[in-house]
Amino acid sequence: MDIDVRVTGKTRLLALVGNPVEHSISPELHNSLSSFLNQDMIYIPLKVEKGDLGTVVGALKSLDFVGFNVTTPYKRDIMKFIDENTKEAILMGAVNTVKKIEGRLYGYNTDAEGFSRSFKEETGVNFKGKKVVLIGAGGVARSIAVKLAREGVEKISLVNRTTLKSIELAEVINENVNKVVQVYNFADKTFEMAIAESDIIINTTSVGMFPDTNQIPIKLSNCFKKNHIVYDVIYNPVKTKLLKKAEKAGAKIVNGLGMLFYQGIHAYEIWTGLKLPEGELKIIFDSFKKILNVQE
């Protein structure tokens, strides 16, 4: 038999903390990155039960782990166990990437960077001076809203099924980043005006995700225009009903696959200090698409 030498006493360790973790493709992504870049690192998923988070974080800190990712449902709870969270992560109210530096744990949020990098890569457009409609007021919406406000958007028109959550998020952004958020209601006529004047429309909710692919977060008819860029954080299906409707109207559409990919890339760059060249990123991204079971 051949001796398996992939893991030795010199192999550096990375992990994913969450529950569940069985569905995650982060191990495939990060282990493929390490193989591609000839890095002696291994990434393992750790299913953590409720109440054990502090114990697990303490163990990861004591053991020889370079860092770890954090996924549902611990992105907010993890913050109290971290020695120092970045200002951006604090504003976003969530940490999904942790790095150990000289025995201390530092918390980052790479979701927003993944979104920003994906958006600019796939559209060639930046956010400065743009008017954005943001659908949803959950954790993903908060991360994206902070990023948009910090990158100079002119206005964020925020709409969510629960208006109170929208108001709370608007206060966070307006008071701590930039006064650019205005709250709307789906049934409000002025919301139609907000869409009409917008440059970018972003869905951060799970409405339309597989298997409920016939759902759509905006039920207004004929609301999309050719000048719109419509971004859906969902990547399965490749084209949600929202994106199909926008595409039919001539709008440019982008799904969330790039966001998923680039948030992982940014985490890997934080852990290793490496900066991946664009040519190599394209090769990795093309391979990454093949491991996803996405629906057309």
Q: How far apart are CA 31 and CA 140, in angstroms?
A: 25
Q: What's the token pair of residue 278?
A: 């664009």
Kindly give, in sequence order, each residue whose CB lies less than 8 Å from that of residue 134, ignoring residues fewer than 6 positions away.
141, 144, 145, 148, 156, 157, 158, 159, 202, 204
Q: How far apart are CA 84 and CA 87, in angstroms?
A: 9
Q: How far apart are CA 288 and CA 267, in angstroms?
A: 16
- Of 60, 52, 232, the closest CA to residue 44 belongs to 60
The pairing of strands 97-101 and 104-108 is antiparallel
Q: What's the token pair of residue 89?
A: 């992560």
120 is catalytic: no
Three-state SS annotation for 137-167: CCHHHHHHHHHHHHCCCCEEEEECCCHHHHH
User: Of the listed 10, 47, 61, 75, which one is catalytic?
Assistant: 75
User: Could you tell me if residue 129 is left (phi over 0), alpha (psi between -120 and 50 degrees) or otherwise beta?
Assistant: left
Residues labelled as active-site residues: 75
